[in-house]
């Protein structure tokens, strides 16, 4: 609101579109370099132009406007800050909520069946849920889709190995199914013919072979039960779960349409889509088996027909960047939608210190193991620091909330494009720039307010330095949510929440809250905004900490 008001004032005074930025604090709360743009055109001194513009600016929004080095520096009036903070208290969890009246489909998580939920899929799950939450809060009709990896040659390989070892799939755990897949590849490295056997079993599965379908269904059912336990623990709820297999009866129509529109052409027995600026991609192999592209195109068509979205967001690993471009370009070639309606949120990889995670090589870290260890560590800290009056059940509940906050915030505080080297100490950190620090700040606000009573801005004294700093941070929230949504960057909200917590704790440690009506108001506003910020990141709050 403040930035738009400044932009409007600059436009009215100068006729120019002036960019508004946040400078270092001593140079105002906002600044504009519009005088330099005008100076280039008129060949005049920017400082003189800035002074002329300053004299034209009349607004109660500003306490003062200064000119330094050609920049216009704006200082927000305290009354304007108080008015916005009063709005935070009035609107509570609705503060900052938008009403865009558009529809977005967010495709995220998407683990593969027949193996445990790995740490690698944690990023897609928590980043995807955060972007879902942000768009939903921003006012979009938001549809979350979990596109399970439940179809493809790898399942023919698992079935092949189960048959070779004469195993009963009903008796195999998810970890044991993963071990079956690893053993298949170890044997295939020594005997390439085994790869052919795996592909043949997948062809049987595609053709509806009774034995292959039975074993596949067992793997799928066991996997979904396992995934749901993880989602419940993480506080993640995805609207629609459909695997690649869901689109099997829809694929042929898509392939026929691609051929009819000459988007797919025959090449050495296969059907291929060609591009001018990218490598070609196969939609159907020479043996008539389908590819990821065919299944993903079927999914796009289904979602277009079912949800009529304005925007598709795919939270998928960065290693799929080329493929996602090929998919979006093929959709445009087919005339279904413009590729600009599709966004690939390309997250970086979790890596081990000695390289990339790999199920084939047996180099994985299971998410269940990470979450259990996080809970153990959180419980120990809680037992050492909280009242012994707590019941064992209360300790368990607080431990789980703190542990999940630690794991989720750790995965969200960096930009999603960055690779993350897996480090147990960093993932399980419960202090510093961490989820528990933010949770603790919210609980601290709650405890203070239980003692403080009501507050208001009736006091005549002005904000001191720390109070004003916190007030300015609070009124940034709307802008932060908007920027996070526009740039598909939940880490912006994580960073904001950390800065807000630091600003509040600076005020708390430097002065007494109880007894000051204005500081009580700032504490209430902090609790509201910080709670909302954490909810957008799917970080829950414990009752005590």
Domain final position from 58, 76, 94: 76
How far is it, in rounded angstroms, from Cα 422 to Cα 355? 10
pLDDT value of residue 354: 58
| Tens digits of residue pLDDT in 4-62 | 777 887 787 777 777 788 776 677 888 988 889 888 888 889 999 999 889 888 888 89
Q: Which helix (H) or strand (E) holds 36?
A: helix 34-42
How far is it, in rounded angstroms, from Cα 462 to Cα 149? 59
- Give the CA distances from residue 349 to residues 77, 121, 421, in Å, rounded to whole numbers and listed in that order: 45, 9, 8
Residue 127 resides in a domain? yes
pLDDT value of residue 214: 96
Identify whether residues 247 and 380 lie together within a single domain: no
pLDDT value of residue 13: 72
Identify whether residues 464 and 515 lie together within a single domain: yes
Range list of β-strands (E), 175-274: 240-243, 264-267, 270-273
| CATH label of the domain that carries residue 221 | 3.40.50.620
The tally of CA atoms less than 13 A away on the side-chain side of residue 6 is: 24
Identify whether residues 412 and 454 lie together within a single domain: yes
pLDDT value of residue 353: 61
Helices (H), 334-476: 367-385, 392-412, 424-427, 435-452, 465-474
Closest among 162, 206, 216 to 184, alpha carbons compared: 162
* DSSP state letter for 93: G
Identify whether residues 51 and 125 lie together within a single domain: no
Contact of 422 with 485, CB cutoff 8 Å: no
Identify whether residues 330 and 394 lie together within a single domain: no
Q: How many residues does the chain have?
A: 545
Q: What is the number of other CB atoms lying within 10 angstroms of the CB of residue 450?
A: 8
How far is it, in rounded angstroms, from Cα 212 to Cα 204? 7
Residue 326 resides in a domain? yes
Q: Is 209 helix (H, G, I), strand (E, B) or coil?
A: coil
pLDDT value of residue 352: 60
Residue 97 resides in a domain? no
pTM, entire model: 0.90
pLDDT value of residue 186: 93
Domain final position from 320, 337, 356: 356
| CATH label of the domain that carries residue 434 | 1.10.730.10
Closest among 429, 437, 416, 447 to 514, alpha carbons compared: 447
Identify whether residues 435 and 332 lie together within a single domain: no
Q: Across the chain, which distance is largest between two alpha carbons, in Å?
A: 87
pLDDT value of residue 363: 56
How, if at all, do strands 311-317 and 342-347 pair? Answer: parallel
pLDDT value of residue 293: 96
Identify whether residues 149 and 25 lie together within a single domain: no
Residue 67 resides in a domain? yes
How far is it, in rounded angstroms, from Cα 285 to Cα 271? 7
| Tens digits of residue pLDDT in 362-395 | 556 788 888 888 888 888 877 776 666 778 888 8
- Residue 158 belongs to domain spanning: 108-356
Residue 545 resides in a domain? no
Q: What is the number of other CB atoms lying within 10 angstroms of the CB of residue 268?
A: 6
How far is it, in rounded angstroms, from Cα 494 to Cα 492? 5
How far is it, in rounded angstroms, from Cα 359 to Cα 115? 9
Residue 362 resides in a domain? no
pLDDT value of residue 57: 83
pLDDT value of residue 542: 92
**What angle separates helix 435-452 from helix 490-510, to the nearest 10 degrees?**
50
pLDDT value of residue 314: 98
Residue 21 resides in a domain? yes
| CATH label of the domain that carries residue 47 | 3.30.1360.70
Identify whether residues 413 and 437 lie together within a single domain: yes
* DSSP state letter for 463: P
How far is it, in rounded angstroms, from Cα 100 to Cα 275? 35
Phi-psi region of 432 (alpha: psi -120 to 50; beta: other; left: phi over 0): left
The tally of domains found in the chain comes to: 3
Domain final position from 76, 100, 130: 76
Identify whether residues 72 and 135 lie together within a single domain: no
How far is it, in rounded angstroms, from Cα 67 to Cα 55? 10
How far is it, in rounded angstroms, from Cα 431 to Cα 426? 10
Contact of 320 with 113, CB cutoff 8 Å: no
Residue 345 resides in a domain? yes
Which residues does the chain have with pLDDT short of 50? 359
Q: Is 413 helix (H, G, I), strand (E, B) or coil?
A: coil
Identify whether residues 423 and 505 lie together within a single domain: yes
Closest among 296, 303, 533, 276 to 412, alpha carbons compared: 533
Identify whether residues 310 and 414 lie together within a single domain: no
Identify whether residues 174 and 194 lie together within a single domain: yes
pLDDT value of residue 533: 98
């Amino acid at each position: 609101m403040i930035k738009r008001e400044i932009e409007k004032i600059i436009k009215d005074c100068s006729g120019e579109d002036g960019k508004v930025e946040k400078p270092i604090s001593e140079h105002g709360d906002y600044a504009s370099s519009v005088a330099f743009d005008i100076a280039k055109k008129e060949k005049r001194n920017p400082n003189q132009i800035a002074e002329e513009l300053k004299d034209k600016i009349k607004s109660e929004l500003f306490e003062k406007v200064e000119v330094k080095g050609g920049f216009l520096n704006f200082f927000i009036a305290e009354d304007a800050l108080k008015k916005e903070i009063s709005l935070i208290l009035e609107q509570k969890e609705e503060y900052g909520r938008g009403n865009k009246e558009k529809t977005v489909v967010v495709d995220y998580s998407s683990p593969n069946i027949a193996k445990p939920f790995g740490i690698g899929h944690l990023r897609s799950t928590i980043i995807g849920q955060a972007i879902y939450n942000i768009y939903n809060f921003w006012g979009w009709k938001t549809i979350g889709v979990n596109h399970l990896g439940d179809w493809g040659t790898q399942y023919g390989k698992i079935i092949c190995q189960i048959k070779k070892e004469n195993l009963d799939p009903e008796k195999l755990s998810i970890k044991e199914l993963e071990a079956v897949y690893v053993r298949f590849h170890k044997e295939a490295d020594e005997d390439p013919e085994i790869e052919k056997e795996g592909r043949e079993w997948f062809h049987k599965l595609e053709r509806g072979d009774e034995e292959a379908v039975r074993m596949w269904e067992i793997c799928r059912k066991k996997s979904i039960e396992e995934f749901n336990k993880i989602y419940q623990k993480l506080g993640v709820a995805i609207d629609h779960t459909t695997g690649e297999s869901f689109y099997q009866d829809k694929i042929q129509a898509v392939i026929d349409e691609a051929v009819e529109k000459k988007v797919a052409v025959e090449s050495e027995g296969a059907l291929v889509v060609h591009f001018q600026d990218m490598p070609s991609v196969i939609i159907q192999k020479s043996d008539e088996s389908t590819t990821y592209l065919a299944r993903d195109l079927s999914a796009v068509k289904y979602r277009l027909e079912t949800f009529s979205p304005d925007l598709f967001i795919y939270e998928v690993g960065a290693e799929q960047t080329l493929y996602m471009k090929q998919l979006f370009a093929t959709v445009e070639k087919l005339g279904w939608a413009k590729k600009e309606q599709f966004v690939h949120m390309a997250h970086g990889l979790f890596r081990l210190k000695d390289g990339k995670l790999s199920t084939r090589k047996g180099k994985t870290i299971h998410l269940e193991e990470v979450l259990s260890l996080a809970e153990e560590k959180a419980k120990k800290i809680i037992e050492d620091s909280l009242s012994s009056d707590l019941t064992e059940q209360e300790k368990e509940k607080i431990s789980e909330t703190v542990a999940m906050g630690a794991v989720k915030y750790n995965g969200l505080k960096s930009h999603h494009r960055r690779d993350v080297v897996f480090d147990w100490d960093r993932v399980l950190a419960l202090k510093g720039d961490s989820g528990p620090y933010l949770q603790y700040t919210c609980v601290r606000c709650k405890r203070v307010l239980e003692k403080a009573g009501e507050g208001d801005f009736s006091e005549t004294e002005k904000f001191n330095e720390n109070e004003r700093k916190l007030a300015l941070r609070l009124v940034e929230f709307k802008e932060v949510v908007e920027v996070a949504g526009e740039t598909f960057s939940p880490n912006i909200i994580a960073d904001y929440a950390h800065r807000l917590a630091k600003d509040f704790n600076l005020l708390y440690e430097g002065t007494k809250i109880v007894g000051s009506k204005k500081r009580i108001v700032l504490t209430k506003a902090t609790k509201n905004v910080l709670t909302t910020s954490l909810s957008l990141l799917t970080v829950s709050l414990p009752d005590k900490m």
